[in-house]
Structure 1
């Protein structure tokens, strides 16, 4: 039995524990939904040039960003917006040659809905990514080639540079470095013959490839 001296302290400790437990309760966020019938199609082509190994079929992902005006105002002590701001969608890919692939992604892939009770949340396409699971010298290594939606819309294509050696970033990270076209041009120490390229471009309507 607790003494009269220890009982108040125990009650304070119990109250503190309950308060901390309540404060650490896992936050629950609404589930973002994909548009069941998207219409704004964006056909893309992926071309790999001078790869040092056989080119596997990539996985194609698109990241979408929610309009942050529809998110609830920040009300926590840390001043951090914890509500998810992004959602990634994977799309099917078709191989059309040993080094060429095509896919169709959608600008309106996310459902516009009132997720937070602040009006309809709209989405914008952020970037498009082609992720390759290469195998070299019996080891598996990933390479991610990505471009932003704005770059694709304005330039029509983006070229990504990857080292032919396909060296991993570290022993614990089986992915290799990549450079955007602009980033590669700014690196005078990089020799072009040591790199192969992945081009992501808009596919012209009616193009059979």
Structure 2
């Protein structure tokens, strides 16, 4: 046991772990540091008797235990950096109270196996300028996550098979949220979420449309399975979701009477 403690002390000195840990803690505080990775060419005499050879390294499980201790000693300050970054305050992202790029969406259901009592709408916006986000060193060495905002909108019932809603391209305010330049938001998609009655275990059908189709005022049809309504009998999830497909050719093995469609048709509107 004494030999192992002596070997452990020698390892810590050889790799200069105390200095490395101090340097990492200083780096966490934002102080420019130099980490002493250069290894000494000899074993300091303070860790062995004068004239005696260096202690034999531990073997087997002892060696694995010592190496594990070394790795943990190095990683703990890094995990502290990560946890501290996760505690940073999220900026107060602002919705645009007066959007100008407005579109009316018409949702049309065809060949569905039944009615939909629950119809919701959402717009997803992401920051499209990563250069405005904090650098990785402020997030434990990882890229800063892309800010995302979801804005709900209302579908107005026209009939059992048709609804209308209003969406907009400029739903968020561009601003210097992190002090690193202008963050510019981009609409990623507008989508609907339909359920037969709104019950928890029912399938949620989620068709969507991308901003390119909005701007071009082109309709987007999504093909969905009728057998998923109101819930697929063999669904394993408590909250099943069906996104369907917009390419009918990828469902060529299915007959038309096995599918139903939800079509989103955009039209430019006045703000």
TM range (shorter): 0.7 to 0.9
Higher Rg of the two aligned structures: 2
1:5 paired residue number? none
Q: Where is the helix percentage greater, Structure 1 or Structure 2? A: 2
Cα distance, 1:39 vs structure 2: 2.0
Check if 1:117 corresponds to 2:163: no
After TM superposition, the score normalised by the length of structure 1 is: 0.78
Q: Is contact 2:214–2:267 with CA below 8 Å preserved after alignment?
A: no
Check if 1:172 corresponds to 2:237: yes
**What are the equivalent positions in structure 2 for 1:7-46 lying under 5 Å apart?**
19=77, 20-21=79-80, 23-25=82-84, 26-28=86-88, 29-46=90-107
Aligned residues: 196
Q: Structure 2 unaligned runs (5+)?
A: 1-17, 19-24, 26-72
Which one of 237, 251, 255 corresponds to residue 191 of structure 1? 255
The verdict on how the C-alpha distance between 1:168 and 1:127 changes in structure 2, with shifts beyond 3 A counting, is farther
**What are the equivalent positions in structure 2 for 1:50-89 lying under 5 Å apart?**
50-67=111-128, 68-75=130-137, 80-89=142-151
Cα distance, 1:105 vs structure 2: 0.9
- 1:54-80 per-residue CA deviation (whole Å, 9 max, x = no partner) reads 122411111112122322233368753
Q: Pick which of 75-84 and 153-162 moved more.
A: 75-84
- Helix, strand or coil at the partner of 1:185: helix
Q: Is contact 1:141–1:176 with CA below 8 Å preserved after alignment?
A: yes
- 1:98-139 per-residue CA deviation (whole Å, 9 max, x = no partner) reads 111111111111011110112221111111110012249x96
The verdict on how the C-alpha distance between 1:71 and 1:101 changes in structure 2, with shifts beyond 3 A counting, is same
Q: Where is the strand percentage greater, Structure 1 or Structure 2? A: 1
Cα distance, 1:189 vs structure 2: 1.6
Greater relative contact order structure (CA < 8 Å, 6+ sep): 1
The verdict on how the C-alpha distance between 1:91 and 1:45 changes in structure 2, with shifts beyond 3 A counting, is same
Check if 1:90 corresponds to 2:90: no
CA distance in 1, matches of 2:201, 2:176: 46
Q: Is contact 1:132–1:142 with CA below 8 Å preserved after alignment?
A: yes
- Helix, strand or coil at the partner of 2:188: strand
- 1:146-195 per-residue CA deviation (whole Å, 9 max, x = no partner) reads 1211133336110001111112783224324332322x322322222101
Q: CA RMSD in A?
A: 3.3
Q: Is contact 1:141–1:168 with CA below 8 Å preserved after alignment?
A: no
The verdict on how the C-alpha distance between 1:139 and 1:83 changes in structure 2, with shifts beyond 3 A counting, is closer
Q: Is contact 1:34–1:109 with CA below 8 Å preserved after alignment?
A: yes
CA distance in 2, matches of 1:88, 1:154: 23
Cα distance, 1:82 vs structure 2: 3.0
